[in-house]
Amino acid sequence: MKWSIKIARIAGIEVRLHLTFLLFLAWIGFSYYQLGGATAATRGVVFLLALFGCVLLHEFGHALAARGFGIRTPDITLLPIGGVARLQRMPDNPWQELIIALAGPLVNVVIAAVLIFALGQHLQWERLGGLNQPGIAMLAKLASVNIGLVLFNLIPAFPMDGGRVLRALLALALPYSRATHIAAGVGQALSLVFGIVGLFANPMLILIAFFIFLGAQQEAALAQMKDITLGAPVSEATGTHWMRLPPHARLDDAAEALLRTSQDEFPVVDDSGRVLGVLTRDDVVTALNRRRPSAPGREFMRRDLPVVSAHEPFEEVFP
């Protein structure tokens, strides 16, 4: 993900922080500072960090459950709207998808239960003491926010975990694409309800409705592609009419080819038909800013390209 920095590596998974998250943190600190000075600002920031610690643990729940089924998670990124664990692939088995989807919210259930238990113990000891210590209030708030996270994530709509849970449950009895279709339909119906309620109640709901609508659409499109390409080899999904460039092509030849065709990538091919590399639109534009148009194009082409053979199954190559 662009604009994110690596902050840690835990259990082989890179933890990244999106730069907008830092802005969000600064904004929270500043708003609390204006409300109640440095103490309020510190409390606001500490609470937010604790909250995102819970979100991070939630994502680790997904990632470690996926690892149990041999699916790697290269990284987890924290954004102001939540966390994203980038799983290498989605499991094909509905039981596995169900367990991976539930593992995240389950982490928040455990956190909330531990906090509530600890608070209960504490309150019994301190029944006569002051109940309004800020630390205790913050833990109580953290417990309730974790319950909120569980409820929010279990809304049965993509991209929430609940959407995956619903699809997995349906897929136990129905074909995968049919299950996705129904789950996406439920999600879009919910987004409509959220949108209408949001108009009259809370504008935040309109934003959530928008995310759900996009999530449902994306998931349905992915499932449809999976369905169409099932069992097809790479060659069936490959374009065959490519404008090629000779090894001696200059930058202005490449620029002209860009203008004349709708292609964004140009294979540079020698006389015997061997692909030497690929010149992309970005490469050509960047090169033209720095070099004369008569400079040789092959100096700017990419050579470190992954190669797949034509008969490999599409669904294995695509990810």
Q: Which residues bind Zn ion (CB under 5 A)?
A: 104, 161
Cα(259)–Cα(266) distance, integer angstroms: 12
Q: Which is nearer to Zn ion, 153 or 180 (CB)?
A: 153
**Residue 67 beta carbon to Zn ion: minimum distance, rounded to whole angstroms:** 15
Q: Which is nearer to Zn ion, 113 or 197 (CB)?
A: 113
Q: Which is nearer to Zn ion, 54 or 205 (CB)?
A: 54
12 φ/ψ sector (left φ>0, alpha ψ -120 to 50, else beta)? left
**Residue 28 beta carbon to Zn ion: minimum distance, rounded to whole angstroms:** 22
Residue 74 identity (one-letter amino acid): P
User: Rounded to 10 degrees, what is the CA torsion of 170, 176, 177, 183?
Assistant: 30
**Residue 77 beta carbon to Zn ion: minimum distance, rounded to whole angstroms:** 13
Tokens coding 291 = 């070099």
Q: Which is nearer to Zn ion, 16 or 298 (CB)?
A: 16
86-104 b/e (C-beta count within 10 Å ≥ 16 → b) = bbeebbeebebbbbbbbbb
Candidate list 14, 59, 312, 315, residue with the active-site label: 59
296 CB burial (10 A radius; 0-12, 13-18, 19+): middle
59 is a catalytic site residue: yes
**Residue 293 beta carbon to Zn ion: minimum distance, rounded to whole angstroms:** 51
Shortest-Cβ-distance residue relative to Zn ion:
104
Q: Which is nearer to Zn ion, 159 or 267 (CB)?
A: 159
Report the candidate in 78, 85, 90, 40 with the shortest Cα–Cα distance to residue 62: 85
Cα–Cα distance list, 40 to 33, 44, 134 (Å): 6, 6, 10
**Residue 109 beta carbon to Zn ion: minimum distance, rounded to whole angstroms:** 12
Cα(36)–Cα(47) distance, integer angstroms: 15
* Active site members: 59
